[in-house]
Amino acid sequence: MKKNSRNSERTELFEKIREVLKNESISDSGKETIEAVVEQVDLYRQQLEQKTYDLDERVKKLNGLHSLSRIMENSGASINSLMQQVAGLLTALLQYPEIACARIQYRDKEFTTSNFNVTPWLLSAKIVIGNKKRGELEVYYLSKLPEMDEGPFLKEERILLNTIAGNLGYYVEQIESANALAEEGKRFIKAQKIAKMGDFTWNIESGTIFWSEAMYELLGYNKNEVFDYGRINDDIHHPDDLDWVTNWLQKCINSGNPEHDPMEYRLIRKDGEIIYVQTHVSVKYENGKAIELFGTVQNVTKRKKVEEELKMQNQEFLVLNEEFKATNDKLIEEKEKVERSEEKYRLLVENQTDLIVKVDEKGRFLFVSPSYCKMFGKTEEELLGKVFLPLVHKDDREPTARAMETLYQPPHTAYIEQRAMTRDGWRWLAWVDTAVVGPKGDVKEIIGVGRDVTSRKKTEEKLAHSHELMRYIIEHANSAVAVHDRDLNYVYVSQRYLDQYNVKEKDVIGRHHYDVFPDLPQKWRDVHQKALRGEVSKAERDPYYRDDGTVVWTRWECRPWYEEGGSIGGFVIYTEVITERIKAELELKQKIDELEKFNRAMVGRELKMIELKKDINELHENLGQPKKYNIQDENEEA
């Protein structure tokens, strides 16, 4: 809609500029220069709009992927919530989200958008977990749209949907694994308290903190060092994690529960190394008041790295799996194509109406189709391994020989139309020949595919005669004729038309009508638009004032012409310049006025009247009209 609006504004701007150009005293070359600059600016503007549109589409998809990432990160352990949110996001990633709906099928459940409806315009992708299909993403368009790369969908949308399905499968697998690990973790917490991989005790009332030896070793400090635990708390926690770890500990204290789920975050060793740790805490209460917090700290850096590597390997595996599947599907498809092609080839050759032959370098037949044998009244046994040259019409022998010479030069192909003597007499045959070239560039075989084009040739001859007859009729008609297409380009123009309008350029076919007549009045331009809408316009006496000050009087008619399917293909203009006749009529009227004036004012001047009447009679004769006055010669007897 925005593009259409911009196009409308641009068209309105150009019309205003052209109107100014008409009214301002600017030279024709200056107007052309200004219009060229305007057109160039419009081209740059269109390119900018296209790039902006492409960028907007890219930003939309990146925003969608970002939203998808946030949904997956914030979904927690709820697969149902994750699926429903992703279903609601899928349509926003399409080119036409306002007429789209989506559905996610996972195991035995469905998650759909509120407007979901099954239609023929579907794009889907499998959700694969553990190399097995566990579900499917589906997006539908609710109404028919123009065909793109895959139905109404873009190839980028196919790639995007596959990516989302892959990511969704991975995250679901991670959530399921995390849920399983969470259950296992609860049983593991008690063992961790005994193991003391590194622990600390925080006396909440006094604020003192005690570290175990393992804790010192974990963080790389000497247990004999004296340091401020309050300050070192800031030093050992990663700055990006300190605030939320502090808040987490405070929530544990305020919760009233002694046991809490573990938390993972980053610590900084004394030597600057950043490690990932998992911390379990237990809060001791007396009379409902927290007095002590005990925590165990385990270095999980290696596990984190392994998880990251596994994640990357899993993603690579998913990509490789998709590539393998695509390759395997393609191989199967290609095999089926070959099998179908072989069957089609056999049926095609046996039932082919076209003529197919293959000969070796000496002209001996290596293959002949049944249609070729039938055409020349021969059997396959009579032709294979032998040389057979049908009789070619004498007028076609030299062109045939020249065409055959091109087979021995790149690209080693030839097209020939010739008359040959068949069992049914002379027939026009069209041949497409291709040479099979050896490693040294020498011709080893020639494959020819021919077709009987006798009917086409006869039709072409009739059509050529019809065109010539139409041209003859138009050229010798009293009216000048010009035929234009819908874009106002010349399709045909008679010589009389060029002569009457003093057109200097003799070859105007394909040129725009207004380029040939730049000073054409607006009323004519309106007539042309009426014709393109199906209206017929005409006039018996119409003045055409040219820029050089001359006036051309015309009698014309403008009517549309139609394509085979009934649509308007353009219009035809029939014109006859009647300037001389108009001048004669004006002169005649002037003489008549003079005659009547003299007749009223100078009664009795017979000789003057006779002369004027003679002049009038002579003008009538020039116009091909009968004499107005019967004047008796004065030398004749009364």
Query: Does pLDDT of 587 surpass 90?
Result: no
Task: Give the strand pairing for 551-562 and 568-577.
Answer: antiparallel
* Contact indicator for 528, 536 with CB cutoff of 8 Å: no
Q: According to CATH, what is the number of the domain 477-577? A: 3.30.450.20
Query: Does pLDDT of 636 surpass 60?
Result: no
Query: Does pLDDT of 460 surpass 60?
Result: yes
Q: Name the 3-class secondary structure at 305.
A: helix
Query: Does pLDDT of 389 surpass 70?
Result: yes
Query: Does pLDDT of 178 surpass 50?
Result: yes
Q: What is the pLDDT of residue 634?
A: 47
Name the architecture of domain 352-444. 2-Layer Sandwich (3.30)
The CA R_g of the chain, rounded to the nearest whole Å, is 47
Asked if domains 352-444 and 477-577 share a fold, the reply is yes
Dmax over CA atoms of the chain, in Å, equals 163
Query: Does pLDDT of 529 surpass 90?
Result: yes
226-240, 457-471, 499-513, range with greatest mean pLDDT: 499-513
Choose between 129 and 3: higher pLDDT. Answer: 129
Average pLDDT, the chain: 80
- Tell me the β-bridge partners of 110: 105
Mean pLDDT of 416-439: 86
- Tell me the β-bridge partners of 483: 492, 572
Percent of the chain with pLDDT over 90: 16
Q: What is the pLDDT of residue 139?
A: 94
35-39, 112-116, 362-366, 468-472, range with greatest mean pLDDT: 112-116
Residues in CB range of 516: below 8 A, 6 or more apart: 490, 503, 505, 508
Query: Does pLDDT of 342 surpass 80?
Result: no
Choose between 459 and 103: higher pLDDT. Answer: 103
- CATH class (in words) of the domain with range 196-299: alpha beta
Nearest to 537 by CA among 504, 575, 582: 575
Distance between CA atoms of residues 602 and 386, nearest Å:
108
Q: What is the pLDDT of residue 298?
A: 87
Nearest to 611 by CA among 16, 120, 637, 602: 602
Lowest mean pLDDT among 202-211, 337-346, 546-555: 337-346
Q: What are phi and psi of 451, to 5 degrees?
A: -145, 140
> Could you tell me the end-to-end alpha-carbon distance of the chain, in angstroms, rounded to an integer?
90
Q: What is the pLDDT of residue 417?
A: 85
Choose between 361 and 67: higher pLDDT. Answer: 361
Q: What is the pLDDT of residue 131?
A: 86
Q: What is the pLDDT of residue 352?
A: 62
Mean pLDDT of 258-263: 90
CB-count burial class (<10 Å; 0-12, 13-18, 19+) for 510: exposed
Kindly list the strands in the beta sheet with 480-485, ordered across the sheet, starting from the edge strand earlier in the chain: 490-493, 480-485, 568-577, 551-562, 537-545
Mean pLDDT of 237-252: 90
Q: What is the pLDDT of residue 23?
A: 61
What is the pLDDT confidence band of residue 412, given thresholds at 50, 70 and 90?
confident
Nearest to 75 by CA among 167, 186, 184: 167
Q: E strand or H helix at 222, and its extent? A: none
Residue ranges of domains in the chain: 2-54, 75-178, 196-299, 352-444, 477-577, 580-638
75-178: which CATH number, 1.10.3720.10, 3.90.1150.10, 3.30.70.100, 3.30.450.40?
Answer: 3.30.450.40
Q: What are phi and psi of 27, to 5 degrees?
A: -65, 160
Mean pLDDT of 38-56: 68
Q: How remote is the C-alpha of 7 from its chain's centroid?
A: 18
Q: Name the 3-class secondary structure at 590.
A: helix
What is the pLDDT confidence band of residue 485, given thresholds at 50, 70 and 90?
very high
> Residues 143-157: pLDDT tens digits?
999 998 999 998 888
